């Protein structure tokens, strides 16, 4: 993923503490890219770890980072969390508990540990960490990369109000934040965590349909993807809601109306209900694994 950092979120007033990110793939990397924006007030360097030396090499020469690869440095994750007030766990859900166990003794007393893993409850993470540590679950999304993320956060029983406020500030540096209960966080994942993928699927299908109408790939990409990006930006900037914005395009007895009739006949409400329910179900399975 590109490390572009076109940052649009408001910078927080208070500096964020020394931060470590364990796992900087798609999601951890997107948070990192947002945090690296020079406008973000955070204690630097940020410590990051990867599994492979090859992934770590992508950050070679970055003066604002300290980078360790777990396959090259056995205590990479322990070293990264030393001195960190904030630790973000960005590994896959099935690796979270092992990684939490691995860093437990190296964490600073009172550190805040944020898991972005789908499904895994705070209770399971708290069980393997020292009592002084606050555990917070976050469900961000990849537009954090450009400061346009949407993140839901929920504190575990260990999390103080101050810890939740700090995590809120962390994610506000890369977009918008909604504080929810932990019961709601799987639903946040189903809507906004996975949401970018739904839109990209829409873009893929619309591009493919444009090609089938006779445009070449370049022309189809311009027409379909340019339209989606423009329409999304218009929605972000407009005072009108999506229903009104749709009406603005749909002339009575016009062409859009015909296409929308076909799309609506496919039963989008039921389709979205089923898709989001399947998403939540998978989070529940991950919690039980």
Residues binding ligand NDP (CB under 6 A): 22-28, 49-52, 55, 70, 77, 90-93, 95, 99, 116-118, 139-142, 193
Buried b (16+ CB within 10 A) or exposed e, 1-21: eeeebebebeebeeebbbbbb
Helix boundaries (H) for the chain:
26-35, 53-57, 76-81, 96-103, 122-126, 161-172, 185-188, 195-212, 217-237, 242-249, 255-265, 268-288
Strands 65-69 and 46-50: parallel
Query: Pattern of binders to ligand A1CAB over 166-205, x per CB under 6 A?
Result: -----------------------x---xx-----------
Residue 34 is assigned to a ligand binding site: no
- By beta-carbon proximity to ligand NDP, the closer residue of 84 and 220 is 84
Q: From the list ligand NDP, ligand A1CAB, none, pick the one residue 95 interacts with, judged by a Cβ distance below 5 to 8 Å according to partner type.
A: ligand NDP
- By beta-carbon proximity to ligand A1CAB, the closer residue of 152 and 155 is 152
- By beta-carbon proximity to ligand A1CAB, the closer residue of 88 and 220 is 88
Residue 22 is assigned to a ligand binding site: yes
Residue 25 is assigned to a ligand binding site: yes
- By beta-carbon proximity to ligand A1CAB, the closer residue of 118 and 177 is 118
CB neighbour list of residue 210: distance below 8 Å, 6 or more residues apart: 219, 220, 223, 224
Dig out the tokens for 236 from the structure.
């972000």
Query: Pattern of binders to ligand A1CAB over 104-133, x per CB under 6 A?
Result: --------------x---------------
Nearest distance from C-beta of residue 248 to ligand A1CAB, angstroms: 31
Strands 65-69 and 86-89: unpaired
Nearest distance from C-beta of residue 191 to ligand A1CAB, angstroms: 10
Question: What string of DSSP letters covers 208-233?
Answer: HHHHHTT--HHHHHHHHHHHHHHHHH
- By beta-carbon proximity to ligand NDP, the closer residue of 9 and 67 is 67
CA atoms of 171 and 193, how far apart (whole Å):
13
CB–CB of 75/58 below 8 Å?
Answer: no
Q: Which residues are annotated as part of the binding site for NADP(+)?
A: 22-27
Residues within the interface to ligand A1CAB (CB under 6 A): 118, 189, 193-194
């Amino acid at each position: 993923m590109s490390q572009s950092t076109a940052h649009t979120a408001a910078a927080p007033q208070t500096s964020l503490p020394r931060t470590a990110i364990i796992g900087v793939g798609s999601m951890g990397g997107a948070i990192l890219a947002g945090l690296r924006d020079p406008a973000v007030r955070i204690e630097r360097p940020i410590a990051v770890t990867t599994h492979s030396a090859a992934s770590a090499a992508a950050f070679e020469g970055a003066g604002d980072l300290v980078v360790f690869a777990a396959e090259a440095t056995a205590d990479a994750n322990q070293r990264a969390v030393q001195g960190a007030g904030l630790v973000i766990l960005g590994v896959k859900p099935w690796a979270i508990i092992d990684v939490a166990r691995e860093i437990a003794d190296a964490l600073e007393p009172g550190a805040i540990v944020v898991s972005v893993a789908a499904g895994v409850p705070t209770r399971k993470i708290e069980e393997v960490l020292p009592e002084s540590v606050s555990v917070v679950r976050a469900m961000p999304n990849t537009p954090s990369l450009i400061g346009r993320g949407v993140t839901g956060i929920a504190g575990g029983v260990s999390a103080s109000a101050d810890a939740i406020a700090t995590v809120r500030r962390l994610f506000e540096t890369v977009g918008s934040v909604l504080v929810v209960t932990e019961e709601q966080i799987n639903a946040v994942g189903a809507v906004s965590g996975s949401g970018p993928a739904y839109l990209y699927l829409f873009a893929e299908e619309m591009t493919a349909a444009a090609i089938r109408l006779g445009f070449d790939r370049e022309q189809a990409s311009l027409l379909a993807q340019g339209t989606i990006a423009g329409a999304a930006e218009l929605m972000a900037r407009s005072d009108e809601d999506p229903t009104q914005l749709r009406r603005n395009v749909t002339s009575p007895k016009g062409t859009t109306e015909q296409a929308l009739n076909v799309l609506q006949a496919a039963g989008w409400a039921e389709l979205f209900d089923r898709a989001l329910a399947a998403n939540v179900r998978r989070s529940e399975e991950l919690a039980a694994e």
